[in-house]
Structure 1
């Protein structure tokens, strides 16, 4: 009985097993069909176009940031680069030429090695599967995605050659640091085309495919080297490289030649330069190198000075933000810090924040007045004033009576600014503001003179530069844009048009120098001529100082993004101190960077300098590579510089040392200090000789140059 029952039970099991197997097969087919229906078959075979990648360079050509996705040149199937192709196949899919899209043996081998080593040493997906994922699918790790990946891989193998699959894979893969495609990676990390890679470099790039962001050599060189060593080992094991070649590659590891990762503090400058470069060359789908105007030493200094002052004074004075912009006399942006912390806020307080400039706006009032015929020495009443029911007051609540325009500007007297505006005409003042760079609508009301119209820091610094240097400068950050070795844009220099008449320029310089020498901007004084203006809005919501020397015009703004009041912050306080500290240290930076600084010997009493001089300002020359301050004179930038340069006309200057690190310089026997003072091109210094003081007095009596008012 028992012997006969066992076969009968077995026959009963077979139908059940077959039914179950059939049901499983049906479910599998339904699942695969459902997966196939979800595949986005409509696209992906061509890489999507992306905006040009920018590699930003300092003014000296050193890279400091990259922007966008770097794509490089596409690899063609008929020109697959060696040894990168061998490295990729060895580490990613050693049976690439033996399977038809999916490799069961590769999957089993990867699992076996994972169990033996305790970690997954090589991937289970073939190169074709990876291409399918990159081209059509998401990166999510699900059973549905793996099934779709396998089906697409088999389909791709039926449509494309092995070489085409390899080329498309290497063009589509991400290699870290913004590099998409193997050629982009070769250029990003080693500064060369993919076909120029040696074995060591190829192994490092192939090794990045496993974890590109984590292993990118720009941030993890040690990890990239260790992974490259694994790749070399696998290449030797699989016969893709000889032991001798692997030994040579290990003996000469790759040397990185890549722009550094973006510095957070330079993000504001980078954003601005990125925007300008793309505007200049258009939306070209290629990788670009951009030579900018950035002076890295001055940028670092600006970031440091702002951080120090806000860290020390910001909290107690409720000052949460600050910005600084430094322009060269031709408009080149040397340094730009658009806020306290770029990582926290990418909003630029240089170009995007429109704030009331307060008394900075008086620049336009006084410039319009000078153009209308007024002069700094003319007088006007500082007394109570009412216009249509509105009465301006002064910050100290006092009235001084009769004052010169020079003193009124230096001490930022509100009543005089409003009286002057009403006398000249509000339309003339608004026209001057627009001419000097303001873009906002300017309501023609009496309070306009006190800076109720909004402006950006970039606009205000540009306006002061145009008045002080006399030319129609525009801020610019891009010197050259290149695609590989081809220049797409090169900035050309041409004589700039005059922004204001020379009489207006000289009069404004005189009044702006008075601001720093004796007025509201005394905190910004240096040991050389400074012209500038302070600005403070109601309740100290905004505080400004814009100042200039012969080398640069620099503006500082301090305030809060929510427009809340600060505590006792005025333009002549915190902003002026930030400006002063930046400019003092900038002088040291320039001195340290000068080629002759390290080799110039101590000056002896009988030392003499000879050479064709460059005129920095009317009191400063550069002779034989050294900066020379003329004895007994406080020089001025602006129009007199051109006149002095024209008079010297390439003739040799002979300079001899005097006290206090000054020099007496002669051209054709004529003392340049005396020449400048006798023509009203500067002021006598406190240590000026009697002869120089007589020259200044004669120019004053004859109303020459700066004494013409």
Structure 2
């Protein structure tokens, strides 16, 4: 008590009453000033006593007072500080949630309605197969067909999970930590962050969004990832991912990538190859194994280690894959199969129309013939092209029924995609002469008909022989054998250029041909494919030929969309004129300009062609098994250095045809041979023919009679016009 009064406080006695109050029961007490105070229930004290019992105030200025009271007030202030921080943190957090929700709602509104959202259809792939079923090329935006998880080895999809999203089967489609990190860095001006996205988010980006690195795209990516997880199973998402992710070099999807980098299907990749493919998606350009094999291998080892750590492969399998890393085979050749694939795409629409889904196209291309044709053509141009100033070449090889076995459209597809085999129109030179001779045979002449090989002039045109020498009277057989220009010029004057044009068109020449006298020397431009198809008529017994490359088209379901049926457009050359022509063709190969390229044991026909100033050189020939045309020249139509058809083109033709017939049983030409039936030889055909212009009858057969005008021609019969 002394302590209390020591601070200057006066103690007064307390009686339990306050001044001015009266008691209302018997328990009344008097205060010092005689004013009663009402009794409070429970222990009560007077005002002075209450004041005395209050804890003393600490004088902040003097620093006095007890230590216990100061600690309590400090704790209250700390509690008050922490409470304020907590309060404002909660308020700030609430506003952040509201703000983030608003941002998410805004960017979600920029997306299509969720109930209308669908996975966009993958662009269709056209797998082009050779006649033996092997893959020639893929066409389409993706570069490869769709593949299912059940088709590939289990370690292939697991390689992607191991390196890209090891918690793929545990999360709900979004990694919140990664998304937050990406947003923060983007707000700092650093753009989006790679590596924070799940496989589902990457798929969402590939399916629906652009490649820009912004916070907006990341938000939309997360929203779409949640939708994907809700709509599809994990395996379905992984399968979609494997078929849509970009692997570089124009390859979309794991099947396209396996074909592009390893020349095999994804169904056949090894663990090391699967790891290299999985590591590639992080940076396709930088990690492409055909560009940076060391970086690709280093990344693949990280994938293999991750696969082993997660139990996707055994430690032994991992060690084996580490010691035998994947190797990218060196691409050899000029990629000539792409010329054939391009031609398939050019004509495919005519058979099946628009392509809505993946299809497989079975072609007539023979991979061995295609490869050997490419090698022979490319090697010949590499060895002699610079010296002869011959930069380009083309080769077309058909079966006698018109099936394309090999098609080389140029020297190197990677440098020039222009298909010279199907699209380049060049002057055929003397290789066009057989159409003149056939017209003459159908007008009544024979191989033994004699014409004068001597200089002459027709309205100022003076055709000359290549040798500048003349033989005098010769048979037509000899004239064709040695490619005498003067005799061919005399014949076209007799049978008229218009008749020669009709003959060429009947046999399959579709390019516009000018009906003039110089046509006898091949001055009208044609394509190698047209020439090969026309010559096929001489090899198959006179039947009309329409070149074709597609046998069958199937959808991924196995449904046959198109199947080629055997067609027979009928004969366009009668038996006897055909036998005469085959006799003259074999004469060229047995003692004429093609004698160096004959195939022992086979009946072979052929004809060379050279144009003015050596701008084009051809060799076209056939057996009963194969018909082939070779062209050599320059794209700018510049002159070569004395390259003739019996030179470089003939050499290429001979090497290819001899290789193509190795091991094959010789087959005689179905047209047979002319045995030397006598016929008038002196008078010109124009004088021998009836005045109506009809054909002269031949012994044992009649010449081919052109159809009457009201009848359908070849193309009308073919296309139904």
TM-score when scaled to structure 2? 0.66
1:496-542 deviation digits (Å, cap 9, x = unpaired): 52131111111111111222223233332343432111111110000
Question: Could you tell me how far 1:356 is from its partner in structure 2?
Answer: 0.8
Equivalent residue runs for 1:47-126 within 5 Å:
47-48=120-121, 50-57=123-130, 59-68=131-140, 69=142, 70-72=144-146, 91-94=163-166, 102-106=174-178, 123-126=195-198
For residues 310 and 181 of structure 1, do their structure 2 counterparts lie closer, same or farther at Cα, with a shift above 3 Å needed?
closer
Partner of 2:512: 441
Partner of 1:461: 532
Cα-Cα RMSD? 4.9
Q: Distance in 2 between matches of 1:82 and 1:504?
A: 65
For residues 47 and 179 of structure 1, do their structure 2 counterparts lie closer, same or farther at Cα, with a shift above 3 Å needed?
farther
8 A Cα contact 2:169 2:234, kept in partner: no
1:96-124 deviation digits (Å, cap 9, x = unpaired): 677676534357999xxxxxxxxxx9932
Q: Distance in 1 between matches of 2:329 and 2:317?
A: 24
Equivalent residue runs for 1:581-660 within 5 Å:
581-587=655-661, 590-591=662-663, 616-617=667-668, 637-640=669-672
8 A Cα contact 2:538 2:671, kept in partner: no
Partner of 2:547: 475
Question: Could you tell me how far 1:381 is from its partner in structure 2?
Answer: 2.1
Alignment partner of 2:490 out of 401, 419, 429:
419
Q: Distance in 1 between matches of 2:504 and 2:289?
A: 51
Q: Distance in 2 between matches of 1:369 and 1:563?
A: 32
Q: Which runs of 5+ in 2 are unaligned?
A: 1-60, 62-84, 183-192, 678-698, 702-721
Alignment partner of 1:402 out of 447, 469, 473:
473
Q: Which runs of 5+ in 1 are unaligned?
A: 4-13, 111-120, 595-613, 618-636, 642-676, 682-702
- Partner SS for 1:61: coil
Alignment partner of 1:377 out of 429, 441, 448:
448
Question: Could you tell me how far 1:365 is from its partner in structure 2?
Answer: 0.9
Partner of 1:537: 611
Question: Could you tell me how far 1:368 is from its partner in structure 2?
Answer: 0.9
For residues 348 and 559 of structure 1, do their structure 2 counterparts lie closer, same or farther at Cα, with a shift above 3 Å needed?
same
Larger Rg: 2
1:618-647 deviation digits (Å, cap 9, x = unpaired): xxxxxxxxxxxxxxxxxxx12239xxxxxx
8 A Cα contact 2:297 2:325, kept in partner: no
Partner of 2:632: 558
- Partner SS for 2:551: strand
- Partner SS for 2:672: helix
Query: Is 1:132–2:204 an aligned residue pair?
Result: yes
Alignment partner of 1:331 out of 396, 402, 407:
402
1:447-481 deviation digits (Å, cap 9, x = unpaired): 12211111000101111111232221222222333
Partner of 1:490: 563
- Partner SS for 2:572: coil
Partner of 1:664: none
For residues 38 and 574 of structure 1, do their structure 2 counterparts lie closer, same or farther at Cα, with a shift above 3 Å needed?
farther
Q: Distance in 2 between matches of 1:289 and 1:551?
A: 27
Equivalent residue runs for 1:210-359 within 5 Å:
210=282, 226=301, 229-233=304-308, 235-236=310-311, 246=314, 264-359=335-430
TM-score when scaled to structure 1? 0.67
For residues 34 and 548 of structure 1, do their structure 2 counterparts lie closer, same or farther at Cα, with a shift above 3 Å needed?
same
Alignment partner of 1:513 out of 582, 586, 609:
586
8 A Cα contact 2:200 2:229, kept in partner: no
Question: Could you tell me how far 1:305 is from its partner in structure 2?
Answer: 1.7
Range with bigger deviation, 513-522 or 485-494: 485-494
8 A Cα contact 1:175 1:205, kept in partner: no
Q: Distance in 2 between matches of 1:399 and 1:459?
A: 32
Aligned residues: 563
